[in-house]
Structure 1
Amino acid sequence: MRYVICSGGQLGDWALAELREGDVLVGADRGALFLVDRGFSPDMALGDFDSVSAGELMRIRTGSRRFEACDPIAKDWTDTEMALRWVLAQQDPKPDEVVLLGVLGSRWDHSLANIHLLRVLLEAGVRGRIVDETNELHLVDGSMPLTLARTRHTYVSLLPLSLEVTGITLNGFQYPLLDATLTIGQSLGISNVLLEQTGTIRLRDGLLLAIQSMDYP
């Protein structure tokens, strides 16, 4: 079962193309308003809702199947992490994939924290990715290879999310790697290109962020 979390970062009509029939929709704070205003009924809307007006909050409350609000100060997690933890707690249906929309934006502290949530999904054994208008982010470790399909994105860049990533092997890329090592601070993995319809990333140890990206039209 696929869960989609819409958070309060950068969102636009491009995000609608990421929604599929049968998705469980979760709106975090202003992300719930984005869904409701476009005719969707979030299966869960939650957060402190400090970024919406009283009228917008009423639209969210009446337009969502479930609604949970919390105090904006007396909480330990961001709204996005609250939403993710709610998703991972679900058993019926249990998530096997989570797509995060609207989790990147002008607040780089929030953006980086949300990228780190990909590790939470990885450790839970749930496939996860972050999508915005020009990027798609995946996290891979040594437990299983990551296969990327050729999409509208031009480039694939690889950045370590741990101090060191070892045993990196790429197949189907213009610039192949064989048992390579990347450490934080290196730009060797930037702007690779898929030559085939799919490409595979394998590694032995560490956490590697794979970013499919394109320039703005």
Structure 2
Amino acid sequence: MNMFSYDMFEKEGKYHLCGGGVNLSNYESNYNTQSEAWNNEAVTFSENKTLTNKMINSSNNYSYGNEVEYIIYGNSNEKNKKSAYGTIFAIRYALNLPPEFQENWNDGTLSGMAIAIESASSGIIPAPLFKLVVVLGLTAAETASDMQYLKNGMPVELVKNKDQLTWTYAGYSEKAVSGKGFFYSDYLKLILFTKLTGNNEYAVYARIADVIQANMG
């Protein structure tokens, strides 16, 4: 992972150079201020180098920004990234369900709306069913928001409490990025680990060799 690039490699690197204060509203301007530092070998080379002891960038890496995803999935760059996004979305969705239920299930406004809809539909739409659909929808919105953070190089709390949710029945509220939590690259590490503990271990090693060979060439 340390010697290969991945989709959010550069954004995560610039996030760390910023040292905090980055959110969805200002990440572009913050990252732009770090572009010169990111390309400065003296600043980033100690943690940003390939197996051939060169900086990880588009000049030295044959498939810059796609290598780890290829190692994990072995398809085209587009398919590999879609697979990574889909897997991470599923993980985040499962982790967001408990706090969303905790925050919203007993919300007075939601409960009142559910009872009103049950009454208006003569019981065809039970109040619990309406509440379930709403909470599942809010979980999807929360997970989509998490993906925006991850796709822009920022971390997301692995397990949130209800106070850390951005989407609730009361509305949307952007939360400050704490600097803790999991980055996109951390999820790739988890996915890679599961691949190596399964039946596709040799295929993963073979694709690592492919990437090394391409970069050496």
| TM-score, normalising length: structure 2 | 0.28
Instruction: From the two aligned structures, give the one with the greater strand fraction.
Output: 1
